[in-house]
Amino acid sequence: MAAVPIEIPGPKIKRQRLLDRSFQLTTTVAAVFVLILLAGIIISLFVGGWDALRTFGFGFLGSDEWNPVTEQFGALVPIYGTLVSSFIALVIAVPIGFGIALFLTEVSPHWLRRPIGTAVELLAAIPSIIYGMWGLFLFAPVMANHVQPWLQEAFGDWAIIGALFEGVPLGIGMLPAGIILGIMIIPFITAIMRDVFLTTPKFLKESAYAMGATTWEVVWNVVLPYTRIGAVGGIFLGLGRALGETMAVTFVIGNTHRLSTSLFAPGNSIASTLANEFTEAVGDMHTSSLIALGLVLFLITFIVLTLAKLLLMSLERQRGAKS
């Protein structure tokens, strides 16, 4: 029996085409709006920080002087504090987040996955100022009385590493700020890694188990190769959060414009400098220098995300070549 063609009324076709064009126009406008907003942020930061950039030039990035009285400003200390505290946060958060995600997807019994997953998501919902207050009033005394003295006794006499643990244990400084940041980004890294690990097809894991593979061998040889792109993306997302964190770092980093190799010494970050001084900036040069710091933070974040994108593209090409 021959199929009977279905005739669609002309007005209905016109209406569908109109809806398609409207949808395409709406999504295009939304995408262009993001680009316009990004360009507006860059332009406003560049214009606001132009006086400082013109006065100090590239020396602004390499100077550790920050003196509002003499109007001499340099971004080296805040840049150093931002990068070091974020690196410490990654060193702490990546293995812990990786372990939690693997536990939730491969080891945990089903009745325990939902409570732990909910707890991880609740940690991500805690405001950063709460982390900062907890770090200052509860975590800092523990660091000063127990953790930092132990680190000095254990590593203080080492040739190179010992320089990282010099100074008086104050409970605040670069190390406590990095640890607080690490605790803050653990939920983000964990949640993303858990979700990407769950995308691994079950038949791949079941096939590996059927061939006698252990849980670790399944994770290392099946789950990670299949999901490494998403896992790396989650790590860089956590790094982006750590680079721009403000209030939690402001409470525990010490807020001192002083460059030191010791992780116990108080320091500063770009975000904490802006939070502390922007409302009290005196003079156009001070304000311009702070806005220039914001531009530097934007560029650092942009560079990190660009490197992340390039790394993900490289991993994608390697996967395509192997397949």
Model confidence band, residue 7 (pLDDT cutoffs 50, 70, 90): low
pLDDT greater than 80 at residue 115:
yes
pLDDT greater than 70 at residue 89:
yes
pLDDT greater than 90 at residue 296:
yes
Please give the radius of gyration of the chain, using alpha carbons only, rounded to the nearest integer. 25
Model confidence band, residue 80 (pLDDT cutoffs 50, 70, 90): very high
Beta bridge partners of 201: none
Model confidence band, residue 319 (pLDDT cutoffs 50, 70, 90): low
66 residue type, one letter: W
Task: Estimate the crossing angle of helix 270-277 against helix 284-322, to 10 degrees.
Answer: 150
Helical residues (DSSP H) of the chain, grouped into ranges: 10-48, 50-56, 59-62, 76-102, 110-125, 128-134, 140-142, 148-155, 174-197, 202-210, 215-218, 224-244, 247-252, 270-277, 284-322
Q: For residues 315 and 257, is the Cβ–Cβ distance under 8 A?
A: no
Model confidence band, residue 145 (pLDDT cutoffs 50, 70, 90): very high
Percentage of residues in the chain having pLDDT higher than 70: 95
Mean pLDDT computed over every residue of the chain: 87
Beta bridge partners of 9: none
Instruction: Measure the CA–CA gap between 90 and 182, rounded to whole angstroms.
Output: 6
| Token pair of 285 as six digits | 């040069």
DSSP symbol at 267: B
pLDDT greater than 80 at residue 321:
no
Mean pLDDT of 148-163: 87
| Token pair of 197 as six digits | 């690990």
Residue 15's pLDDT is 81
Residue 293's pLDDT is 94
Q: For residues 20 and 253, is the Cβ–Cβ distance under 8 A?
A: no
Least confident range from 3-17, 112-126, 163-177: namely 3-17
